Amino acid sequence: MELRASPLWMTGIGSEGDSGIEFARVLERAVSGDVSAFEQIVIRYERRVLTLAWRLLGRGEDAEDASQEVFLRAFRFLHRFDSRRPFEPWLVKLTVNVCRDIGRKRPVVTDLDTESLRARGDPHQEWSAEEQKQILHAALQDLPGKERAAVVLRDIEGFSTAEVAEILGSSETTVRSQISTARLKIRKALKRRRI
């Protein structure tokens, strides 16, 4: 599955070079109902939300649905955001919650055909980077939702254990346990798929 780049991703508005003060002003305007300010927030975080949703849900169509729902909820509940706290973890938590809701309603189906991967080529032949990514993606999708969310947020998105615990509404001990269990399951899945 390949994510398609929308023209909004390429605009450069809201790039990481923006100062925190500028973003705080945009956020303040959006909270007060300025739709164009909220559009700037969407532009800044669209790719981040879509990528995270895809990693959690495993399908492009589901990730696109989740991304739209995340920004609808963000717009609806932006007045509840505590401006003294960082915005991105709030948005990530919203994304995780939307993905959980979608995951409960839909069976987990990935865009990857794992049977065709197993049948392809000599098992002793070295895999290309793309095949390794696909197999890792399939292993992630086989994890239970909470373990997948914990390992994606910690190992792929780069959040600290404390931040993951806050986003998921769990203790740090629970998150460490989920990550450890998920890593073991991923290792076992990778070994199975390589044979």
What are the structure tokens assigned to 139, written together?
Answer: 């292993």
pLDDT tens track of the chain, all 195 residues? 333 333 333 333 334 445 678 888 999 999 998 999 999 999 999 999 999 999 898 888 999 999 999 999 999 999 999 888 889 999 999 999 999 888 777 654 444 444 433 444 444 444 466 677 777 878 888 888 899 999 999 988 888 999 999 999 999 999 999 999 999 988 888 887 764
Would you tell me how many other CB atoms lie within 10 Å of the CB of residue 189? 19
Task: Report how far Cα 82 is from the mean position of its chain's Cα atoms.
Answer: 22
- C-alpha to C-alpha distance for 169 and 178, rounded to whole angstroms: 13
Pair 74, 91: CB distance under 8 Å: yes
pLDDT of residue 73: 95
| Residues 139/186, Cβ–Cβ less than 8 Å | yes
The pTM is what? 0.68
Taking the alpha carbons of 137, 44, 33, 169 in that order, is the dihedral positive or negative? positive
Instruction: Give pLDDT, residue 6.
Output: 38
